[in-house]
Amino acid sequence: MRDHLAVSPGLWLRRWSAIDARSVLTAFADPAMTWQARESIESLDAAERWVAVQSDQWASGAAFAFAVVDGEDTVLGNVTVSAVNRRHATGWVSYWTTQSARGQGVASGACRALARWTFDDVGLFRLELGHRVNNPASCRVALAAGFVSEGIERQKLEYDGMRYDVERHARLATDEEPVLS
């Protein structure tokens, strides 16, 4: 199973490492990241724990998280396949990018590469993801990475006392590779 992948010139996926904790802390300082981790990441300790969890989950096969990095190994984001279910060959995809890396195709390219890797190296068949309907950028990323919309899950998530509709997308191993725009 490869743990270092080329996405496009100057863009790579590699496993998270303990040296990335400070980059993780910086990434989570962005208010848009508030709901992207189970535990709030407001200290270096919490960021170190987050990295350690990614490593443990990789080792157990429960989830596979990659840091998205540029040619200088600067962290630009994260893509993960979690909820890996070997019985049904399914997984759940999620992603985030750092504030300064956004709007350059980083999440779309990384998500596309993650999906290909998950089909080829892990052997999963169906990948799902979901985004709040008020997160159009995430929807664009899903579509660019070949995840077809499968409809709206009404009021699926609750954050800060407010419920949100979620759009479900999925990509199958047999779907055509998305065309790069």
Ligand X SMILES: CC(C)(COP(=O)(O)OP(=O)(O)OC[C@H]1O[C@@H](n2cnc3c(N)ncnc32)[C@H](O)[C@@H]1OP(=O)(O)O)[C@@H](O)C(=O)NCCC(=O)NCCS
List of residues contacting ligand X (CB under 6 A):
32-33, 36, 95-97, 101-108, 131, 135-138, 140-141, 144
Of 125 and 164, nearer to ligand X (C-beta) is 164
Element (H, E) at 11: strand 11-15
Other CB atoms within a 10 A radius of the CB of residue 26 amount to 15
Distance between CA atoms of 24 and 5, rounded to whole angstroms? Answer: 20
Distance between CA atoms of 89 and 73, rounded to whole angstroms? Answer: 32
Q: Using DSSP, state whether 86 is helix, strand or coil.
A: coil
- Residue 156 and residue 165 in contact, taking contact as beta carbons nearer than 8 Å: yes
